[in-house]
Amino acid sequence: MEPNTLLDSVLDEAGVSHAGLAAHVNEAGRARGMKLRYEHTAVARWLKGQRPRGQVPDLICEVLGERLHRALTLDDIGFDTPGSRRGPATSLSGFVERATALWRSDEQQRPHVVEAPAVTGTPAVIPVWEWENPPEDSDVSRRGLTRVSMTDIETLGAARAHYEQMYRKAGGVATRTRVVGFLNSEAAPLLRGSYADDTGRQLHRATGGLVAIAGICAYDSNTHGLAQRYFHQALRLAKASGDRGLGAYVIALLVNQSLFMKEYRQAVAFAESALRAAGSQITPALAADLYAMQAKAYARLGDGAGTLSCIRRAETAADRIRPGQEPDETGYVQPGLVNVQVAEALLSLGDLGGAREHATAAVGTPAHDRGRVHRLAMLTHIELRQGDVDRAGATAVEMTERARGMESQRLRDRLRAVREHLAVSGSAATAEAAALIDGALRVPL
């Protein structure tokens, strides 16, 4: 079920508690001859995505509409007609209201939003299918109170770059609250503002880049359902912008999450969709990353031929990367990234020698601290698998020192995994490294 962020937003605007809404709905039902006995727990279920039966959604519109002194529709409170589709089939303005409602609920740390699980199966695939296929947005212009200027759009772009760097240095836990706060205070009013089609497309592109960063931070904070919803929002904004390259970048984020969730066939399919639909708009850096992640997925599926084919394609694309010719979003594809992805794929296939060669090359290439931690973790794991425990201990020590100060659940998971592998080796060098990791993990987020 999708969290009902629209109902949550309207409740907040009306100043009505969960228990208060239940009581008012019961009272409105009695006026119509209905015997209702709802309590606050029912409202909590509605906020999690459950649709109440019969006339109750209309009663909710009536109760909250009277409180707000305006008429509310089922769409306004997130109870659109059963079976109706969301996404491009929903108007762009309707999408904006749903998106900004999610940002507001996230900033307020609503449990039904923050703790919502990631969707799987068809609901996970539909946003990607709708991005790739018609209809396109023929006109994204809007009339609002605030006139959007290019200065506003440049501010959003600068904010995206700022929060991306903050994420790389401090981690997603510390960064998420800041980027979500910025979305609420700055981006939401602009999306509801006044702009022509051309300006609107640039606005949706800039906002999509910011929303993607919010999703990355949510993923790094271990809130995967929320991360997925941000990625789906960013994909819808990319479609409205008309920038296929941005959409392919967002799908790469979904591919990475699919790998983490062990949805390997989905990861392959999503990457194929991005490569196919973006066409000439896909850059060498993004193509390299998509092929490398496909290689990891094929390796996990035990498809050696598919793995090696994607590795070759990833390396060919990486050779074509030219600094200064890539968009800001693909800046994460730094030298050595493909090497560490290939190392992981080869490790899954049991090719320890090839995996170590690529992991060593990745570690020997300059990278930001966050990327370096992941590279060192991979190299440590391979060294342990090869029985080189003294070298693995030294690599793990460097990894741990690099990770200090970063508030990241993903990095903590990497540290724990390395700690477990070190513990079974039984050498003095690995015991020292394991103790160092224990100390780092004791620091609360």
What pLDDT is stored for residue 428 in this prediction?
86
For the whole model, what pTM was predicted?
0.87
What pLDDT is stored for residue 247 in this prediction?
97
What pLDDT is stored for residue 147 in this prediction?
96
What pLDDT is stored for residue 90 in this prediction?
62
Q: From the centroid of its chain, how far is CA 351?
A: 31
Mean pLDDT, the chain cut into blocks of 10 residues (445 residues total): 86 89 93 91 92 91 89 86 47 91 93 92 94 95 95 98 95 96 97 97 98 98 97 98 97 98 97 95 96 98 98 97 92 94 97 97 92 96 95 95 92 94 85 93 84
What pLDDT is stored for residue 443 in this prediction?
86
Show contacts of 311-318: CB within 8 Å, 24+ apart. 311/342, 311/345, 311/346, 313/287, 314/287, 314/288, 314/289, 314/338, 314/341, 314/342, 315/288, 315/342, 317/284, 317/285, 317/287, 317/288, 317/291, 318/284, 318/285, 318/288
What pLDDT is stored for residue 72 in this prediction?
86
CA atoms within 13 Å, Cβ hemisphere of 66: 9
Report whether 347 contacts 385 (CB < 8 A): yes
In the chain, domain spans: 5-84, 91-242, 368-445
Which residue matches tokens 């003294």? 390
What pLDDT is stored for residue 152 in this prediction?
98
CA angle 118, 122, 127 (to 5 degrees): 75
Which residue matches tokens 């990327």? 371
